[in-house]
Copies of this chain bind each other. A is one copy, B any other.
Amino acid sequence: MPAEKNRQIAIVELPQGKLSESHFKLVESTVPEPHEGDALLKVRYISLDAANRAWMQGATYRDAIEAGQVMAGGAIAEVISSTAEGFKPGDLVFADTGWQEFAVLPAKQLTKLPSLEPMTHLLSVYGIAGLTAYFGLFEIGQPKEGETVVVSAAAGSVGSIVGQLAKMRGCRVVGIAGGKEKCDWLVKELGFDAAIDYKNEPVHKALKEACPKGIDVYFDNVGGDILEACLFRMNLFGRIACCGAVSQYDGDAPAHGPRGVPGLIVTKRLKMQGFIVMDFNDKRDQALKDLERWVGEGKIKVQEDVIEGLENTPKALIGLLAGENRGKRMIKVA
């Protein structure tokens, strides 16, 4: 693939405060040459996730990202040529290709994907978002029929699935999201029992009304003040699944954690547990089977937000951090 160019989004400098487009630039290089054991990949869809921003703050569950590099990011890619064992041209894979049109990676960094339509579902309900919702809710939250489940960033890729799964389990489900439009969508389209618009009402008050029997499971995507408000409404022996802290990624590191830690943790005997989707790799096949069945039966509605063009990736991430998207946001590269 000699003549073709590889367009890439590189990081100019790491953000100190809020992320802006000036932290990125579009560069062109040549398509990289695979070595023995590598596959050459053509990137199809790049996944946008709040965690991308967290990676810029320092080492998390992966190494920190550095200035000068191509921005990291997971994507669906197609194998163009391969000496990587087990991969042949035409195969679809999930990999951390970074934000670019072509990437070269060794076999062990590739996860083979099934072919199914629409392919975008491999990044949403059958991808990290769907599996994160599934494992976080069922393994960490362990909701029982009749319990109350609250989820924040409820209109996002993970939250919108968490709420639907909790409804299937027979729970009262309350979503927290920004703006009336999203809240209406949660209740009218996705079947949530109630939604709280954190941009327009005090969350702690709204929780009192929406959760008359308190909260048994809180699926936390945001941290900060909303986590604090939920802590005060938790029931005895409640579970908090800590999935992310999007409120704290884009800007300075937070000065403090939520009030009520550890006082309420003790008196209410709460369990607060962090997880990432890879912790449950051994249960992945069953989870995918369940999710496919439920999507097929119409029990899970899949919402995607697909933006075209590699050049729009920085703007799309910035928008995601501001809560622009509904459902899973991704970039269609090719």
Contact = CB atoms under 8 A, between A and B. Distances in A.
Interface residues of A, number: 37
Interface stretch (A100-108, A171-179, A262-270): A262-270
A270 B267 contact: no
A12 B11 CA distance: 64
A251 interface: no
A265 B259 contact: no
A261 interface: yes
Given A258-B256, A262-B242, A263-B223, A274 B279 contact: no
Interface in A244-282: 244-245, 248, 253-276, 279
Contact of A272 (B227, B245, B254, B272): B272
A115 interface: no
Nearest to A57: B263
Interface in A33-66: 54, 60-61
B60 A262 contact: no
A242 B60 CA distance: 24
- A interface secondary structure, majority: loop
Nearest to A236: B61
Copies of this protein chain in the complex: 2
A87 to B, nearest CB: 30
A162 to B, nearest CB: 15
A220 interface: yes
A272 B264 CA distance: 12
18 contacts: A227-B261, A228-B257, A244-B266, A245-B262, A256-B259, A257-B257, A257-B262, A258-B262, A262-B272, A264-B274, A266-B275, A267-B276, A268-B274, A269-B276, A269-B279, A270-B274, A272-B272, A273-B273
Given A228-B257, A254-B259, 12 more contacts: A61-B267, A253-B259, A254-B263, A256-B256, A257-B260, A257-B262, A258-B262, A261-B272, A266-B275, A269-B275, A270-B274, A272-B273
In the A-B complex, the 9 residue pairs with the closest CB atoms? A256-B256, A257-B261, A257-B257, A265-B274, A266-B274, A242-B262, A60-B267, A272-B272, A242-B265
